[in-house]
Amino acid sequence: MPEISRNALLRGAAVTTVAALAVPGTASASSQGREHPNVRLIRGYYEAYAANDLAAMRTKYFAPDIRWTIPGHHPLAGTKRGADEVLAFFAQLAKAGFRADPIFLAADGDWVVDLHRGWSTTPAGLDLTWALAFRIKSGRIAEAINYPGDQHAADAYFWNTYPLAPIPTRLAQ
């Protein structure tokens, strides 16, 4: 029997759990087989993210007053306010070669729930299932709240990858 990786098992369990909890008629596809417009928006956002197309993210996907919350106790944690702060955060993730592969998307009203595999390539070392809650307003992402599958692993990775500058340098800025 082939060996199954822990991440593959967790991804499968997450998809099964969310699918079992989804309310009929609210998932990504409607009864007519058409995808919810907010799910299409998030799919487009992920395409722009994969291409590192910051201009498209700013002009097509992000509300000007977007709020993006990254939980945890690490240098990149906290709520980013406005497209400039969110894009600066993404620029830091790009330095670590972050990638995202959507697993599951569902929409209900103004909210989209997303499960995706998110991993780093430079340096490698973080490979988790993440959940995001996106609030959509006027066809744009107004808010995103990010939930890592393993907060302790995320905190450790971000501390190792984005250390704070020494205090004299940090305070001089």
Tens digit of pLDDT for each residue in 61-102? 999 999 999 999 999 999 999 999 999 999 999 988 999 999
At residue 143, the pLDDT reads: 98
Least confident of 42-56, 128-142, 156-170: 156-170
Per-residue pLDDT at 166 = 83
Residue 42 belongs to a domain with what CATH number?
A: 3.10.450.50
Q: How would residue 19 be classed by pLDDT, with cut points 50, 70 and 90? A: very low
The pLDDT-based confidence of 14 (bands split at 50, 70, 90) is: very low
Q: Which of 10-19, 53-62, 89-98, 114-123 has the lowest mean pLDDT?
A: 10-19
Better pLDDT: 9 or 160:
160
H-only helix segments in 22-96: 37-50, 54-56, 82-95
The reported pTM is 0.78
Q: Would 1 be classed as within a structural domain?
A: no
At residue 171 the predicted structure's pLDDT band, cuts being 50, 70 and 90, is confident
Q: How confident is the model at residue 31 (pLDDT cuts 50, 70, 90)?
A: very low
* Position 23 in a domain: yes
Report if residue 53 sits inside a domain: yes
Total domains in the fold of the chain: 1
Confirm whether 137 is domain-assigned.
yes
100: helix, coil or strand? strand
| Strand duo 124-137 + 62-70: pairing | unpaired
Handedness of CA 26, 32, 38, 42 (dihedral sign): positive
**Is 48 domain-assigned?**
yes
pLDDT at 33: 63
pLDDT score at 28: 44
Residue 9, pLDDT above cutoff 50 = no
What single-letter amino acid sits at 115?
L
What range does the domain containing 95 cover?
6-172
- Residue 81: count of CB within 10 angstroms of its CB: 13
Does residue 161 sit within a domain? yes
Better-predicted residue by pLDDT, 1 or 102: 102
